[in-house]
Each structure stands twice: as structure tokens, then as C-alpha cells.
């Protein structure tokens, strides 16, 4: 069974700092990996999707990398802002591509 | 606007009283799925559907039923809810299945409490 781990569980940084969130998974036979943010009381918002054949994706201040062989992904956030405060989740799809496994998330607080 | 809509957003019910949580998407997506989110356990997949009349179990299907009679709708049915089904539920959809899967879109969530 696929296990997805996110470390740290919580992170607090001053505004403007660059930061890295980590996601690791036990089974490297994945089809893709997706990063989401979740705001309190709200659903999940997709940030970046990396297909298994890709090594990274970028969107604005966000950059996600994928190393399938080592079972790791990182989400890099540049020049953090208070509006980035949220819980960040990673999810991998495997099997036929239709089963998703989520990490438990990293709660990020950006202090003004 | 592309969206996944769940109803209700909040529900308190009693043990054993059948309930249905609806999920509808307006993006003509083939794939839809249900998750529950619990503290310390993260999101776990309950059921998924690859198209009309095609459904399959996820990680935690016990106590739940689903149906996919129309492409846009994917209701979650709890025939006899129990307190351990108290959770935050999310519906999601995406275009394509298997190798062709793309980014997933999530609903706003349904907070269910079973007393």
C-alpha cells in the first residue's frame, strides 16, 4: 500500500522567506503527483500537477520537483506572503491511475 | 465557472438514519471520487468512478455506497450511518482516467456529524 508522508507537519516563517515543503512516498510506481492547498473550512485548490515523466513544474512563485526513484517531491515557495498561509497537501496516483493517496499535509504560517 | 458542488455543506444526523450527500460537476469530467478527511489520517479515498455506471472501491469503502447514473452526478450514500463516519467529506472530479489523468478539482466539503 502506498504511504505518503509530509514533513514538517507545521512550519512558521517570516514574510519574504523562501521555503521548501517535502513529500515522500513509498511506492515509486506512480502516474502523477499533485500539490494542493487547503484553507480552513474550504476545499482543496490544485497548485501543480507533475506527471511521472516530468521532473518539475512551475507556476508563479511555486516550483514543484519530482524524483520518482527516491520517492520524493518538494514544493518550493519563493518570497512567501501572509496569503500563502494554508495547509499544503501532496497526493500521488498509482495503480491504474485512479487511486489517489494523500499526505497528511504541512500547515504553513507566514508571519507579516 | 468550472466547479464541483457538494450538498449539504453541514449535516448532523442520528445513527442509522440513511442519508445522501450529493456531488455535481459542470466540466463534463469522466472521473469522480469521494474522500473523507480525518485529523491525523489525512484524506482517504472512499470510492471512485471512471464513467457512467463504472465505480470501484477506494481505500475505505465500508459503510458507503455510490452510484453514477449521470456523468455530472456522483452521490455518496450512507445507508446506516454510525458515529465513526463523522468526518469531513470531499468530492472531486478530473478529466480522463488512468494514464490520461489530469489535475483534480475538489468541492467545498461536507462536514458530517453522526450522533
Shortest alpha-carbon distance between residue B49 and chain A (Å): 9
* Per-residue pLDDT tens over the stretch B10-61: 999 999 999 999 999 999 998 999 999 998 888 999 999 988 999 999 999 9
CA atoms of B41 and B43, how far apart (whole Å): 7
A88 touches chain B (CB under 8 A): no
- Mean pLDDT, chain B, integer: 92
Dihedral over Cα of B63, B89, A49, A55: its sign: negative
pLDDT of residue A75: 97
Best mutation target, B104, B105, B107, B110, to test chain A (most A CBs within 10 A): B104
Name the grid cell of B29: 469530467
Q: Do B106 and A31 touch (CB under 8 A)?
A: no
Task: Give the pLDDT confidence of B55-113 residue by residue, as tens digits.
Answer: 999 999 999 999 999 999 999 999 999 999 999 999 999 886 655 557 889 999 999 99
For residue range A25-74, what is the model confidence (pLDDT) as tens digits?
Answer: 998 888 889 999 999 878 899 999 998 889 999 999 999 999 999 999 99
C-alpha grid cell, residue A112:
507579516
| C-beta pairs of A21-25 under 8 Å, 24+ apart in sequence | A21/A74, A21/A75, A21/A77, A21/A88, A21/A106, A21/A108, A22/A72, A22/A73, A22/A74, A22/A106, A23/A72, A23/A73, A23/A74, A23/A75, A23/A90, A23/A103, A24/A71, A24/A72, A24/A73, A25/A71, A25/A72, A25/A73, A25/A92, A25/A101
- CB contact residues (below 8 A), chain A span 28-87, against chain B: 31-32, 34, 36, 41-46, 49
All residues of chain A having their beta carbon less than 8 Å from the beta carbon of residue B107 are 43
CA–CA gap between residue B102 and residue A4 (Å, rounded): 20
Q: How many CA atoms lie within 13 A of A28 on its CB side?
A: 8
pLDDT in tens, A62-107: 999 999 999 999 999 999 999 999 999 999 987 666 778 999 999 9
Amino acid at each position: 500500500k502506498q504511504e505518503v508522508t509530509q514533513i514538517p507537519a507545521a512550519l512558521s516563517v517570516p514574510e519574504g522567506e523562501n521555503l521548501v515543503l517535502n513529500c515522500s512516498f513509498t511506492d515509486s510506481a506512480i502516474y502523477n503527483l499533485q500539490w494542493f492547498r487547503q484553507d480552513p473550512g474550504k476545499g482543496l485548490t490544485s497548485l501543480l500537477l507533475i506527471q511521472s515523466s516530468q521532473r518539475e513544474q512551475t507556476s508563479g512563485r511555486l516550483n514543484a520537483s519530482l524524483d520518482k526513484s527516491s520517492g520524493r517531491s518538494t514544493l518550493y515557495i519563493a518570497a512567501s506572503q501572509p496569503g500563502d498561509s494554508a495547509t499544503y497537501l501532496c497526493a500521488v496516483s498509482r495503480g491504474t491511475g485512479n487511486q489517489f493517496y494523500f499526505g497528511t499535509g504541512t500547515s504553513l504560517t507566514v508571519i507579516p | 465557472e468550472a466547479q464541483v458542488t457538494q450538498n449539504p455543506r453541514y449535516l448532523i444526523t442520528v445513527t442509522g438514519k440513511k442519508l445522501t450527500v450529493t456531488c455535481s460537476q459542470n466540466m463534463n469530467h469522466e472521473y469522480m471520487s469521494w474522500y473523507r478527511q480525518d485529523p491525523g489520517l489525512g484524506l482517504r479515498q472512499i470510492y471512485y468512478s471512471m464513467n457512467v455506471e463504472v465505480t470501484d472501491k477506494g481505500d475505505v469503502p465500508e459503510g458507503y455506497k455510490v452510484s453514477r447514473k449521470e456523468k455530472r452526478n456522483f452521490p455518496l450514500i450512507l445507508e446506516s450511518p454510525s458515529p465513526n463516519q463523522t468526518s469531513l467529506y470531499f468530492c472531486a472530479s478530473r478529466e480522463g482516467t488512468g494514464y490520461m489523468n489530469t489535475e483534480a478539482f475538489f468541492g467545498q466539503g461536507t462536514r458530517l456529524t453522526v450522533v
